[in-house]
Structure 1
Amino acid sequence: MNTKIALVTGASSGIGEATAKRLAQAGFKVYGTSRRGAQAGRRAYEMLALDVTSDASVQEAVACVMRLEGRIDLLVNNAGFGVAPAGAEESSIAQAQSIFDTNFFGVVRMTRAVLPHMRAQGGGRVINIGSVLGFLPMPYGALYAATKHAIEGYSESLDHELRNWGIRSVVVEPAYTKTPFDANLLEPDAKLEAYREVRTAMARRIGEVMEGAEGPDVVADTVLKAALAVRPKLRYTAGGLAARLRLLRTFAPAGVMDSGIRKDLRLA
């Protein structure tokens, strides 16, 4: 069996790094990306410089992999960032546009760059790292949740469009995951005194939850499962908490979910 070629965005740390390592261990030839490109230290995969907010950077990275390997069998769209817990109106329009440009339009740019090659080779798989917040909105995390909702809709529509070429589009949905991502959240850029108290309380509560969160290897194992599945599902939850939340969202009455969210986050 020929070695399959994988391209993983945001692979310098966290979920992206764990995913790139896991795919390499499973026999994929992996190219990871980050804005900084190759860094000091030995890795089981190659690193390329790539800014998912730049059309030119995306095209250059994809063209580089195609020159080196002649094909791309798997794209894992992982690059993204979040804003620290805050009211939705505490982020400027510029900040809102910035998070969408990376988290959602970055996925669109990467997918558009890779799909012509996958169609030409007659197969491929696109795995988008979503979130439980893509089906379960989080108070004081509205913008990040909105980007993940967008990924859910985009990915499912794409999957229907691409099946005739042997290409599938999948979403992996983690819950809280202990990674550097959570330690490097952007602060909202339009803070309001009205939200100061709840903003502080939410940050404290998220910190408590993160203490018991699962590590990125759980997500990486789920990505590998989705990558190798002969008949992949549209969505894969990653980890026990994510699976429970998906079950609750599917079967619990709306009022029960509403009160459960507020109780868990200790909202009055």
Structure 2
Amino acid sequence: MQTKIALVTGASSGIGEATAKRLAKAGYKVYGTSRRGQRAGQQSFDMLPLDVTSDASVAAAVAEVLRLQGRIDLLVNNAGFGVAPAAAEESSIDQARTIFDTNFFGIIRMTRAVVPHMRRQRSGRIINIGSVLGFLPMPYMALYSATKHAVEGYSESLDHELRTLGIRVSVIEPAYIKTPFDANLIAPDAPLDEYREVRSAVDKRVKEVVEGADGPEVVAETVLQAAVAARPKLRYTAGGLAARLRLLRRFAPAGLVDAGIRKDLRLAT
């Protein structure tokens, strides 16, 4: 059997690194990417420099994989970052554009660069790392939630368009994951005293929950499941909490879900 070629964005740490390692262990030839490219030390996958906010950088990285291997069978769009817990009005329009440029438009750039080659192959998988916040928005995470809602809608439309060409698209929906993700959080650039106390309280609560959360390997296993499935699903939750939240969103009364969110984050009713 021909070795399958995988391209994983944002693979320098966290979910991306765990995913690249798991795919390599499963037999894929994996190219991970980060803005810095190759790291020192041995690893089970190769690293390429890639900035998903740059058309030229995306084109160069995809061209390099095709030069080396002649094909791409799996694209995992993982690169992304968030804003530290903050009220929606505490981020400027420029900051909103910045997070969308990476978390959403980065996926579009990668997809547009890779799909023409998958079409010629008449086969391929695209797996987008979403979040439970893509179907259950979180207070004080409005911009991040909005990007993940956009990923959900884009992915579902794309899957309809591409499945007749032999290409399938899936979204992975983790909840809290214990990774260095918080190291890449940016502070709100228009903070207001009105929200200072609640912002701090929500940030503290999120950090408490993350400390006891699943590791990124849970997401990596789910990515592999979606990648190898004969009939892949559009959406996969990753981890027990994500699965429970999906069921709550689907079956629980809206008022109960609303109250549960506020109670968990210790927000005034």
TM-score range, shorter chain: over 0.9
Determine the structure 2 residue equivalent to 1:244.
244
The amino acid that maps onto 2:38 is A
The amino acid that maps onto 1:203 is D
The residue matched to 2:107 in structure 1 has which SS?
A: helix
Determine the structure 2 residue equivalent to 1:180.
180
Determine the structure 2 residue equivalent to 1:92.
92
CA–CA distance in structure 2, aligned partners of residues 263 and 204 of structure 1: 14
1:39, CA displacement in angstroms? Answer: 1.1
Q: How does 1:1-268 map to 2 (within 5 A)?
A: 1-268=1-268
1:127, CA displacement in angstroms? Answer: 0.0
The residue matched to 1:31 in structure 2 has which SS?
A: strand
TM-score by length of 1: 0.99
Unmatched 5+ stretches in structure 1: none
1:91, CA displacement in angstroms? Answer: 0.5
After superposition, the C-alpha distances for 1:93-123 in whole angstroms (9 at most, x for unaligned) are 0000000000000000000000000000110
The residue matched to 2:32 in structure 1 has which SS?
A: strand
1:184, CA displacement in angstroms? Answer: 3.0
After superposition, the C-alpha distances for 1:201-230 in whole angstroms (9 at most, x for unaligned) are 011101111111100000000000000000
The residue matched to 1:6 in structure 2 has which SS?
A: strand
The residue matched to 1:177 in structure 2 has which SS?
A: coil
CA–CA distance in structure 2, aligned partners of residues 136 and 116 of structure 1: 33
1:140, CA displacement in angstroms? Answer: 0.1
Give identity over the alignment, percent: 78
Size of the aligned set, in residue pairs, is: 268
After superposition, the C-alpha distances for 1:44-98 in whole angstroms (9 at most, x for unaligned) are 0000000000000000000000010000000000000000000000011000000
CA–CA distance in structure 2, aligned partners of residues 184 and 122 of structure 1: 37
TM-score by length of 2: 0.99
The residue matched to 2:22 in structure 1 has which SS?
A: helix
CA–CA distance in structure 1, aligned partners of residues 149 and 255 of structure 2: 21
The amino acid that maps onto 2:256 is V
Unmatched 5+ stretches in structure 2: none
CA–CA distance in structure 1, aligned partners of residues 223 and 140 of structure 2: 28
The residue matched to 1:85 in structure 2 has which SS?
A: coil
The amino acid that maps onto 2:165 is W
The amino acid that maps onto 2:154 is Y
The residue matched to 1:259 in structure 2 has which SS?
A: helix
CA–CA distance in structure 2, aligned partners of residues 5 and 175 of structure 1: 28
Q: Please report the RMSD computed on the Cα atoms of aligned residues, expressed in angstroms.
A: 0.5
The amino acid that maps onto 2:14 is G
